Amino acid sequence: MAAQTSADKGAKKIGGFFKGVKAELKKVSWPNKKQLVNYTTVVLVSCALMALLVWLLDTTAHQLLKLILG
């Protein structure tokens, strides 16, 4: 039996890794289309609200500094 090279061992480790990834992805409970649309809508609305909040705070701070510093 020939001794395994480090390249052979590395290839086996990588192959084992991807085999494990595939097995874990089969266990995942994927959302259906309705859930996916709902989750996406929630994320987009949340991002828009946060952007609006940051804009309001920035505008307020800018106006206050302009008022104070003239």
Number of domains the chain contains: 1
Residue 31's contacts (CB-CB under 8 Å, 6 or more residues apart) are: 39
CB 61 within 8 A of CB 69: no
Residue 37: give the domain boundaries.
31-70
Report whether pLDDT(9) > 80. Answer: no
Look at residue 9 and tell me if it is in a domain: no
pTM value is 0.61
pLDDT in tens, 11-57: 788 889 999 999 999 999 999 999 999 999 999 999 999 999 999 99
Look at residue 11 and tell me if it is in a domain: no
- Positive or negative, the CA dihedral 63, 65, 67, 70 is negative
Look at residue 37 and tell me if it is in a domain: yes
Look at residue 3 and tell me if it is in a domain: no
Look at residue 16 and tell me if it is in a domain: no
Look at residue 41 and tell me if it is in a domain: yes
